Amino acid sequence: MIDLIQFVGLNDLQESSQHIVKNLSEKYIFKIRNNIRKATSIKVHIKQKKKSDHLSFYTALIQVIVPHKVHEIEKEDRDLTILVRKSFQALTNEVNHYTQSR
C-alpha cells in the first residue's frame, strides 16, 4: 500500500520537512488502508508559499483514487505538521463516510 504513495513538491522543502510529510503520510495511510484497499494511487502534493522571510504557508492536496471515485482534500496552514494531520484526518473522515454509505 505504501508503494502507491506519490509525493509531489517534497524536493522544494527542507529535509526535516520532507521527513515530517513522509512519516505522517505513511502513518495515516496505514490507518485507513482497509478502507482504501482498492486504491490505484495516492498523491500527496505539498506547496510552500513564502509570504515573507519569516512567514510561510503550506498547502496540501491529497488524492486517493479508487475505482469510480476520487477522494480529494485541500488544506492550508502555517504549521506543516498540523497541516498534514488535518488533511489526513479530513481525508479519513471522507473515506470512512463513503465506505459506510455504500
The CATH number for 69's domain is: 3.30.160.100
Q: Look up the pTM and report it.
A: 0.86
| Mean pLDDT of all residues in 11-33 | 90
Q: Of 92 and 84, which is predicted with more confidence? A: 84
Q: Which residue range forms the structural domain that includes residue 26?
A: 2-101
**Average predicted confidence (pLDDT) for the chain:** 87
Note the pLDDT of residue 17: 92
Chain centroid offset of residue 66 CA? 15
- Tell me the three cell numbers of residue 40: 490505484
Is residue 74 a contact partner of residue 61, using CB atoms and an 8 Å limit?
yes
pLDDT digits (tens, 9 = 90+) for 28-76: 888 877 777 778 889 999 999 887 777 889 999 999 988 888 999 999 9
102: pLDDT confidence band, cut at 50, 70 and 90?
A: low
The domain tally of the chain equals 1
3 confidence band (pLDDT: 50, 70, 90): low
Compute the distance between CA of residue 32 and CA of residue 35 in angstroms, rounded to an integer: 6
Angstrom distance (rounded) from CA 98 to CA 78? 29
pLDDT of the residue at 50: 81
Element housing 60 (H / E) = strand 56-66
Residue ranges of alpha helices (H) inside the chain are 15-31, 80-101
What is the per-residue pLDDT for 76? 95
